[in-house]
């Protein structure tokens, strides 16, 4: 076990013990006794009459820990610190808005079965906003809630900073979750949205989605966690503008995900890999450094990468293709299994050849590794390098010299050179200079670019890994 895996295992054990103790110690719908709240000496804010609903209904002032048992708008008038209760604010009614008015509810310790704000199972249309919660088992807890919003909140130093479970139609937006075990945890819930939210410096996950259905992520940043975004056994997950940077082990981990779609994702820093383990239907667009394992019928397209990138296709990857935009322009498309493909610096080509497009290195990670490779080239490069397009082919460098890959020919209509390879090394698209072509016979050119081979990926019956 490496150190990164060990850190996650240790953190998971601690987190699991804490969550298990919470689940065992608390029964649904039971909040702490508000009468036990100790005053913290803070003065109320004063005129809470200014806090009114948009429709003109006055707000109810909240000066400390309490149970909210009637619909309405409630406004916290001061900070609450170390109240020594199990749940500080318990919501047991529908149609409630709890406005923290920028105040904090600090539990003073990370005790078992505690919550800063807990919404009881069965409640509907509950909003918690403009509040900071810290040092609770659950910072804000929605358990069995239908409808509502958690907005403009900060959750710190909790087991789960923001916890949504067995709920539906809940929105988390403009939230910050930091220094928790898990920043934002969504479990066994439907139609949940997380938007404009940052999760950072959490011990395990920044954002965790488990056994959830129809989840939308928008403008979510997970930074400096053990795992930035973890999605497990989820169905219909849509993400846009998702950023996972500088996470210690994994940027994005998806296990058992069906019908996933991610657009404009950036995954970098830390270990620099996004692990994608999905049984079907995952699509990632504009991501960086992706590893695929146990993946079937999936497409990862338009990965905008820098000069150093890698894509790993696991041994049990089936019918999955990845397209990398090297330097943001020329594409490298690949499909296969048991192989890692990465950027490479190509050795100098033979004297009569020029290299077009990016070079890649392929390394086998399984005994039966296969790779279908398609490398894009630009028309303008043909003129700049004075290369005859008909002579383009995929070449392999074996450590001593270059040799053409059988069947590696150019598709002039699509500006691609394609081939299937089973011997792995550095690959590049090479072409013969135009002047040299005039001195070669047609049979020489066929031998050079591999077009004399049959049954290769350039033939009409070969699937295109770039599609």
Counting the structural domains of the chain, the total is 2
Domain boundary among 335, 350, 379: 335
Whether residues 67 and 212 fall in one domain: yes
- CATH code of residue 270: 2.160.20
In a domain, 467, yes or no: no
Whether residues 301 and 383 fall in one domain: no
Whether residues 113 and 149 fall in one domain: yes
Say how far apart CA 338 and CA 334 lie, in whole Å.
12
Averaged pLDDT in 10-residue chunks for the chain of 467 residues: 44 43 35 36 44 62 97 97 94 98 93 92 98 97 98 97 98 98 98 98 97 95 93 85 85 76 70 56 58 64 65 77 69 87 89 88 92 87 80 91 90 90 93 66 38 33 38
Give the per-residue pLDDT at 287: 58
Whether residues 77 and 216 fall in one domain: yes
Domain boundary among 273, 300, 335: 335
**Residue 431, domain extent:** 342-449
Whether residues 331 and 346 fall in one domain: no
- Residue 69's Cβ-count burial label (10 Å; 0-12, 13-18, 19+) is exposed
In a domain, 132, yes or no: yes
Whether residues 161 and 33 fall in one domain: yes
In a domain, 407, yes or no: yes
Whether residues 127 and 158 fall in one domain: yes
Give the per-residue pLDDT at 79: 98
Whether residues 328 and 349 fall in one domain: no
Give the per-residue pLDDT at 45: 46
Say how far apart CA 88 and CA 115 lie, in whole Å.
7
In a domain, 156, yes or no: yes
Give the per-residue pLDDT at 31: 31
Whether residues 328 and 295 fall in one domain: yes
Give the per-residue pLDDT at 277: 59
Nearest to 14 by CA among 302, 221, 226, 317: 226
Whether residues 363 and 312 fall in one domain: no
Whether residues 113 and 246 fall in one domain: yes
In a domain, 59, yes or no: yes
In a domain, 28, yes or no: yes
Give the per-residue pLDDT at 299: 66
Nearest to 227 by CA among 256, 267, 189, 262: 267
Give the per-residue pLDDT at 255: 75
Whether 57 and 75 have beta carbons less than 8 Å apart is answered as no
Whether 162 and 153 have beta carbons less than 8 Å apart is answered as yes
Say how far apart CA 203 and CA 211 lie, in whole Å.
21
Query: Would you give the end-to-end CA distance of the chain in angstroms?
Result: 37
In a domain, 237, yes or no: yes
Domain boundary among 310, 335, 360: 335
Whether residues 317 and 296 fall in one domain: yes
What's phi and psi for 97, nearest 5 deg? -120, 120
In a domain, 347, yes or no: yes
């Amino acid at each position: 076990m490496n150190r990164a895996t060990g850190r996650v295992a240790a953190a998971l054990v601690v987190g699991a013990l804490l969550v298990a103790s919470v689940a065992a110690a608390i029964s649904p719908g039971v909040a702490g006794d508000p009468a036990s709240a100790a005053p913290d000496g803070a003065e109320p804010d004063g005129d809470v009459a200014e806090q009114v609903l948009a429709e003109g209904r006055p707000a109810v002032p909240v000066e400390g820990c309490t149970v909210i048992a009637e619909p309405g708008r409630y406004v916290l008038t001061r900070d609450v610190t170390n109240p020594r209760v199990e749940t500080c604010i318990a919501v047991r009614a529908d149609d409630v808005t709890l406005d923290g008015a920028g105040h904090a509810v600090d539990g003073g310790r990370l005790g078992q079965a505690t919550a800063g704000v807990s919404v009881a199972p069965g409640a509907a249309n509950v909003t918690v906003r403009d509040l900071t919660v810290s040092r609770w088992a659950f910072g804000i807890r929605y358990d069995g809630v239908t409808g509502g919003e958690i907005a403009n909140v900060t959750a710190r130093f909790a087991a789960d900073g923001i916890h949504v479970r067995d709920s539906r139609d809940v929105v988390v937006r403009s939230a910050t979750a930091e220094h928790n075990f898990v920043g934002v945890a969504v479990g066994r819930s439907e139609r949940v949205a997380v938007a404009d939210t940052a999760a950072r410096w959490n011990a395990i996950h920044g954002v965790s989605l488990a056994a959830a259905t129809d989840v939308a992520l928008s403008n979510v940043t997970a930074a400096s966690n053990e795992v930035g975004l973890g999605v497990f056994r989820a169905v219909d997950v849509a993400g846009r503008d998702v950023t996972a940077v500088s996470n210690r082990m994994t940027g994005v981990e998806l296990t058992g995900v069906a019908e996933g779609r991610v657009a404009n994702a950036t995954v970098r820093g830390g270990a620099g890999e996004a692990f994608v383990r999905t049984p079907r239907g995952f699509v990632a667009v504009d991501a960086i450094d992706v590893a695929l394992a146990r993946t079937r019928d999936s497409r990862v397209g338009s990965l905008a990468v820098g000069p150093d990138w890698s894509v790993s296709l696991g041994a049990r990857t089936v019918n999955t293709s990845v397209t990398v935009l090297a330097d943001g322009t020329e594409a490298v498309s690949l499909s296969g299994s048991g192989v890692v493909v990465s950027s490479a610096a190509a050795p100098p080509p033979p004297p009569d050849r020029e290299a077009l497009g990016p070079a890649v290195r392929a390394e086998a990670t399984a005994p039966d590794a296969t790779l279908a490779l398609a490398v894009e080239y630009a028309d303008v490069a043909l003129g700049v390098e004075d290369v005859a397009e008909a002579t383009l082919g995929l070449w392999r460098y074996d450590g001593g010299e270059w040799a053409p890959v059988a069947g590696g020919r150019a598709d002039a209509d699509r500006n691609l050179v394609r081939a299937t390879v089973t011997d792995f090394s550095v690959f590049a698209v090479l072409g013969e200079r135009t002047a040299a072509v005039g001195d070669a016979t047609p049979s020489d050119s066929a031998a050079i670019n591999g077009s004399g081979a049959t049954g290769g990926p350039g033939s009409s019956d070969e699937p295109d890994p770039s599609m």
